[in-house]
Amino acid sequence: MRILYLGMPLGALMLLREGHHIVGACISRPSSPGMTRLRRALAEEGAPLLGRPDLTQPGVQALLASTEPDLIVSWFWTRRIPAMLVALAPHGGINVHPSLLPRHRGPDPYFWTLYREDAETGVTVHRITDAYDQGPILLQRRVPVPPRGNAWTLARALDRPSLEAVRDVVQGIVEGRYADDGTPQNEAYATEAPRPSDDDCEILWDHPASRVIARIRAASPEPGAFTGLGEGTLVVLEAEAYPKPPRGLEPGDVAWLPEGVVVACGHGEAVLLTRARSEDDDTMVTGHRIAALLPGLERVDG
């Protein structure tokens, strides 16, 4: 099977270890781990290796067409793949998406999985079509959402299942087990996963603590959930429910207690801030040191 690969280097290296023939590769992040090994492996085969090429450019398209692929494989290639490129391959193209499609279609399913407080997520291998993330499904693997993770740790939790899913589908295509086009996605269950806006990342303290924490987890570590507290803007990277909210605080009120910095939420609840930074400084602080980011905040020991 002659494979034209698009995405992160580790996916191409996995396919090479499985004995598949990579006739060319377009890498979405050339600085990622595995790039040196991939460059060496493809140089031995005389296969082209391109770093973040523009797939709409005629010269790039001509070079990729010259590889004469049987199958296009995309693993974390984050831009649209032109239909003419998919048409080069008799077996078409497949892509892996880090959600259970049709839920969370789009570029940032990690954020929306956590933001919506999903208990379960997974990976989907689907056919590449003109409609982004809407191709028929070939295989899905379900994964529980880590209970205390953020967007970065969720992404890492899905790396191995997604590689295994791609491996199994490619081998299935080689063996003729995926001769059909797959199962169409059910539009009734479709949701979108765009890049989060500032409105999506701003903490709303009148929400219950669980919703506040979900937003913080979804936006961490980047771009970070933010809030205006005191005279500046605080970027909150981690928080946990605080079991005994101080009396008399309204949502958004802050108290510096023996346990640390606590912020009142809706429904009479509160959260304890455990990791944060200022908007203008990337230095992360934890525990009681967060109080230093809130000028004028006085500790309450009683």
pTM value is: 0.93
Residue 229: the pLDDT is 79
Q: State residue 296 phi and psi, 5-degree precision.
A: 90, -5
Residue of 199 and 1 predicted with greater confidence: 199
**C-alpha dist (Å) from residue 301 to 66, 148, 240, 245:** 72, 29, 20, 14
SS3 244: coil
Contacts of 210 (CB under 8 A, 6+ apart): 117, 241
pLDDT 10s digits, 41-61: 999 999 999 999 999 999 999
Residue 93: the pLDDT is 97
Quick one: what percent of the chain has pLDDT higher than 90? 89
Closest CA to 203 of 255, 244, 239, 154: 239
Residue 244: the pLDDT is 86
Residue 232: the pLDDT is 78
**C-alpha dist (Å) from residue 175 to 1, 57, 61, 125, 291:** 10, 34, 29, 17, 61
pLDDT 10s digits, 207-262: 999 999 999 999 999 999 999 976 779 999 999 999 988 888 999 999 999 999 99
Ranges of each domain in the chain: 2-189, 198-293
What topology does CATH give the domain 2-189? Answer: Rossmann fold (3.40.50)
Residue 38: the pLDDT is 98
Contact 162, 123 (CB under 8 A): yes
Residue 179: the pLDDT is 77
**CA 69 to CA 92: how far, in whole Å?**
9
In the numeric block, the tokens 């023939």 are attached to 21
Contact 182, 124 (CB under 8 A): no
> Which CATH number is 198-293 given?
3.10.25.10
In this structure, what DSSP letter does residue 268 have? G
Q: Would 2-189 and 198-293 be classified into the same CATH topology? A: no
Enclosing H/E stretch for 96:
strand 93-97
Using only the alpha carbons of the chain, give its radius of gyration. Answer: 23
Residue 301: the pLDDT is 76
Residue 302: the pLDDT is 58
**CA 121 to CA 100: how far, in whole Å?**
6
In this structure, what DSSP letter does residue 120 have? E
Residue 181: the pLDDT is 85
pLDDT 10s digits, 177-187: 987 789 999 99
Quick one: what percent of the chain has pLDDT higher than 70? 99
**CA 45 to CA 51: how far, in whole Å?**
18
pLDDT 10s digits, 88-111: 999 999 999 999 999 999 999 999
Q: What angle do CA 183, 21, 8 make, to 5 degrees?
A: 70
**C-alpha dist (Å) from residue 148 to 122, 221, 284:** 17, 13, 18
Provide mean pLDDT across the span 20-32: 96
Provide mean pLDDT across the span 258-272: 95
